[in-house]
A and B are shown apart, each in its own frame.
Chain A
Amino acid sequence: DAGITQSPRHKVTETGTPVTLRCHQTENHRYMYWYRQDPGHGLRLIHYSYGVKDTDKGEVSDGYSVSRSKTEDFLLTLESATSSQTSVYFCAISEYGGGGAIGEQFFGPGTRLTVL
Chain B
Amino acid sequence: AQTVTQSQPEMSVQEAETVTLSCTYDTSESDYYLFWYKQPPSRQMILVIRQEAYKQQNATENRFSVNFQKAAKSFSLKISDSQLGDAAMYFCAYLANTNAGKSTFGDGTTLTVKP
Residues of A with Cβ closer than 8 Å to B?
31, 33, 40-45, 48, 50, 56, 58, 88, 90, 92, 94, 96-100, 102-107, 109-110
> Do the beta carbons of B35 and A98 come within 8 Å of each other?
no
A106 CA to B46 CA, complexed, in Å: 8
Residues of B with Cβ closer than 8 Å to A?
33, 35, 37, 43-45, 47, 50, 52, 91, 95-103, 105-108
> Do the beta carbons of A98 and B97 come within 8 Å of each other?
yes
> Do the beta carbons of B97 and A100 come within 8 Å of each other?
yes
> Do the beta carbons of A50 and B97 come within 8 Å of each other?
no
A51 CA to B50 CA, complexed, in Å: 25
Instruction: Point out the residue from B100, B106, B108 that lies within 8 Å of A97, measured CB to CB.
Output: B100
CB distance from B68 to the nearest CB of A (A): 14
Contacts of A90 in B (CB 8 A): 45
> Do the beta carbons of A43 and B100 come within 8 Å of each other?
no
> Do the beta carbons of A104 and B105 come within 8 Å of each other?
no
> Do the beta carbons of B106 and A42 come within 8 Å of each other?
yes
> Do the beta carbons of B102 and A102 come within 8 Å of each other?
no
> Do the beta carbons of A31 and B105 come within 8 Å of each other?
no
> Do the beta carbons of B43 and A97 come within 8 Å of each other?
no
List of 8 A-B pairs having minimum Cβ-Cβ separation, nearest first? A97-B101, A107-B45, A42-B107, A98-B97, A97-B100, A43-B105, A103-B101, A94-B101
> Do the beta carbons of A45 and B35 come within 8 Å of each other?
no
> Do the beta carbons of B108 and A42 come within 8 Å of each other?
yes
> Do the beta carbons of A104 and B33 come within 8 Å of each other?
yes
> Do the beta carbons of B52 and A31 come within 8 Å of each other?
no
A42 CA to B37 CA, complexed, in Å: 11
> Provided the pairs A42-B91, A103-B33, A109-B43 are in contact, do residues A98 and B98 lie with their beta carbons within 8 angstroms?
yes
Q: Which residue of B lies closest to A56 (CB)?
A: B100
A–B Cβ pairs within 8 angstroms, 23 of them: A33-B101, A33-B102, A42-B91, A42-B106, A43-B91, A48-B100, A50-B100, A56-B100, A88-B43, A98-B33, A98-B99, A99-B97, A100-B97, A102-B33, A102-B50, A102-B52, A104-B50, A104-B95, A106-B47, A107-B44, A109-B43, A109-B44, A110-B43
